[in-house]
Structure 1
Amino acid sequence: MGGVRRWLHDTVGGLPATYWYLWSGLLVNRVGAFAMLFLSLYLTEVRGASKALAGVVVGAYGIGGAAGVLLGGVLADNWGRRATLLWSHLTAAALMVLMAFAGHLAAIAVLAALIGVVHSMPGPAFVAAIVDVVPPEKRSRAFNLQFWAFNLGMAGASFLAGLLAQASYLALFLVDAGATLATALIIAARVPETLVRRSRTPDTRPPSGLRAALTDRTFLAFVGLTFVLAVLTAQTSTIMPLAMRADGLSSAAYGTVVAFGGALIVVGQLFVPRLIDRHRKHVVLAVSTGLLAVGFGALAFADALPAYLAAALIWTVGSMLAAPPNAEINAELSPTALRGRYQAVFYLTFPAAAFLAPALGGVSLQHLGDRHWIVSAGVGLAAVIGHLVAGPRRERRVAALRAAERTAPDAVTGERTLTGAA
């Protein structure tokens, strides 16, 4: 029993109450965020859209998501974390209700783009709020639990979506709206504003807009390495199904591989902090990226379901190990006053990877065949070297940022409020 108590304390203990309300909101939001997973089927089966038109509408959702990430980061720094979270969720719930009753394809396309914006806006604010309230020494644990909640919620969403879609697409959209509203209520009732506004002299005021993040070479190098990881991971939902079909495997086999990876994360993610806490972050990221490279490289030799499952085991462990240090480094490289903007630039890597992985991966698979996976492994191994080379420089940068923020003028000019410059 003592060992179990110690594990529970090491895994979930000592985190502030505000974090747990943010965590709960994220979990509820992810469990309910399933309607857009079935948007293409809804358009073709219910609204009579062609496959091409359905693809355009789903693409509009993706474009809205990229814009929403940047907007959410700016608002999180200027308007506040709580305000951004609250109003993006309320707006998303309202738009989802409108989507449920929209009949014209043009209206659905506009709503899809707007929903893409408000679905992506909370991401930078969620992470910025977590960094605001969780001490540095506990962030690995906090981000590990956040990643676990996200994947647990997505697993629940996939299950519920299948049931609701069979019963009623109207129910699909309305239940999604209800879950989003529930998240807004949790934020409204329990999450205070975590953004503290500080006075700065003209000499110490940071650059405005996104310019600071987009000209920070150390940060952009880290974002680039994260982009490689995201491209590798995105292949599980874009390129791997094509490879499995070419090997004569069914859609059910693909579903088995995806479910296996999800189950591994749900069961194993809670044990990750004890494995990585004693090691330097860039070393953990190098090892985890190496596992991703080996896992996807192994697909060059896979032609049956057991081989795909074995490869999925390797790359899923890599993803699990990478999640906490990746989020920690992102937080550490972000100046306090620009935390939301830095999160926004960081989170752009994922929609960019979701676009690039199928766009280039499909061409590569068509022309290279199984050698595509060897190329993927080579790209991953290059990122391993990148982490090992860039890691010490990142550590020096983090130390300099902490020293600068301890000595910079930071007198609080007022209470934590929801108002501020737009």
Structure 2
Amino acid sequence: MSVHEHDGPSPGGLTLPALSESRWLRFSTFTAFYFAQGVPIGLLTIALPAWMAEQGRDLAEIAGFSAVVGLPWAIKLIMGPLMDRFTFMPMGFRRPWALFAQFGLAMSFVAIALLGGLEGESLVLLTTLGFIANAFAASQDVAIDGMAIDVLPVEDRGRANAFMACGQRFGFAVFGAITGTLLVMFGLAVAAFTCAVAVGLVFLLGAIVIERPGERRMPWSPGAAAEVDRATEPGVGSYMRQLIVVLFMPMSILLIAVEFLNRVRDGFAVVVQPIFATIEFGASTEVYTQANGIIDLTAAVVGVCIGPLIDRAGAKRFLLGALVASAALHLLMAFSQSLWKDSTFILPMWAAISFAGQVIFIAIIAMFMNICTPSIAATQFAIYMSLANLSRTAGMGILAAVGGGLTTQDNFIVMGGLLIAAAAMLVFVREQRPVV
């Protein structure tokens, strides 16, 4: 497959097809950007909370740190409409925003690397810089999701979601393990700089790849906007009216409620899991992050294998099964306290919960994509995802407020109950399948 002659060569003379021309380039590019989203998750959500727990920080403090650092994912509510309404079409419909956000994410890690230690006021600065890093990561996520909706054929969305979810999972699995080890061995500066290098490499990929033939790779490059028939609302008023209508459709509200319950559970898990691993199970930060990396990598591969099945059989069926299975696993954990230090029990349970979580993630994204209206897809999908991430932050905030009164067993029971409630609500959701 070749690009058009007016599509200038990429840096170094490399010639690639545009995303619109190559299925596997779309899959690989979106997967790489999702991998980059996993890098800050690995450091800020996996490695640092585990390190803090091992250093004796209490549950409320870890939950507060995680809640503040995770809060910027709500920026999708702002960035979605901004990206829909303001574009630089010669470089593509979403790509300029993706490059801007990716560069900002890399620079945020450089700033964290220059911070130094984690004590006293440095922890406040780290929380602030982590907030900024996640703001750029969330912006990149919005841009890539919008780009995916724009260039992915509907028949490829389930498989693409699987690859993208795999990429993010690989990102936080690998960098959770790497930064967890680097934090212990060399400190925060080396861990953060390693993240900056990885994110920077993905930025270079984004600088090479274009959305459609003939577009510019950089603002100063030759090229022009591709002629694409996109239905857009001419006025802000009509745009907002259409957005409100689709968001408040019954199926939309139900699916938001299902994801709310699931993501509140995720918020609990972000805090409970590293504390359980280091305090109850007795693992060190290094052992925990490395084991977490292996399990998450395996879960990512499982997700890729399931993607095509979701396309054929429907996302709702997989989502319902995964929610019920995960609920059962959480309740089994709650009532198996005598086995909490037994690795032959804990590791398979941990892996099974991760596998179920990956299926939930892939299936529910596919369901949200399928109910998006093309003319407002970036905004609509961004709102769905920002609400999901706000729900996760809410879970962390709830745990920070009441966590002192809950035992580890109580936390597992609550998480299982949330998943049961999500599965019960999903029964009433009528799946909207794309026509291909």
- Displacement of 1:151 after TM fit? 1.0
Counterpart for residue 83 of structure 2:
76
Q: 1:131 aligns with which of 135, 138, 149?
A: 149
TM-score by length of 2: 0.72
Counterpart for residue 390 of structure 1:
429
- How far, CA to CA, are the matches of 1:342 and 1:52 in structure 2? 34
Matched ranges for 1:11-410 at <5 A: 15-28=23-36, 30-31=38-39, 34-36=42-44, 60-66=68-74, 68-78=75-85, 79=87, 80-102=93-115, 105=122, 110-165=128-183, 166-192=185-211, 197-198=230-231, 200=233, 205-207=238-240, 211=244, 215-242=248-275, 248-252=280-284, 258-259=292-293, 261-273=295-307, 275-303=309-337, 304=339, 305=342, 306-361=344-399, 363=402, 366-367=405-406, 370=409, 373-391=412-430, 394-395=431-432
Question: In structure 1, the residue corresponding to 2:107 is in which secondary structure?
Answer: helix
- Displacement of 1:349 after TM fit? 3.9
CA pair 372-161 structure 1, distance change in 2 beyond 3 A? closer
- Displacement of 1:203 after TM fit? 12
- How far, CA to CA, are the matches of 2:126 and 2:277 in structure 1? 33
- How far, CA to CA, are the matches of 1:174 and 1:16 in structure 2? 30
- How far, CA to CA, are the matches of 1:378 and 1:51 in structure 2? 21
User: Structure 1 regions of 5+ residues with no counterpart?
Assistant: 1-13, 404-422
- How far, CA to CA, are the matches of 1:51 and 1:388 in structure 2? 35
TM-score by length of 1: 0.74
- Displacement of 1:171 after TM fit? 2.9
- Displacement of 1:168 after TM fit? 4.7
User: CA contact under 8 A between 1:300 and 1:373: conserved in structure 2?
Assistant: yes
Matched ranges for 1:3-18 at <5 A: 15-18=23-26
CA pair 239-59 structure 1, distance change in 2 beyond 3 A? closer
- Displacement of 1:136 after TM fit? 1.1
Amino acid at match of 2:376: L
- How far, CA to CA, are the matches of 2:416 and 2:154 in structure 1? 33
Report which stretch shifted further, 101-110 or 293-302.
101-110
CA pair 220-172 structure 1, distance change in 2 beyond 3 A? same
User: CA contact under 8 A between 1:32 and 1:179: conserved in structure 2?
Assistant: no
CA pair 286-128 structure 1, distance change in 2 beyond 3 A? same
CA pair 302-263 structure 1, distance change in 2 beyond 3 A? farther
- How far, CA to CA, are the matches of 2:115 and 2:294 in structure 1? 36
Question: In structure 1, the residue corresponding to 2:428 is in which secondary structure?
Answer: helix
Measured on the aligned residues, the alpha-carbon RMSD in Å equals 4.0
Q: Deviations over 1:61-97 (max 9, x none)?
A: 333332x322332233223411211111112223333
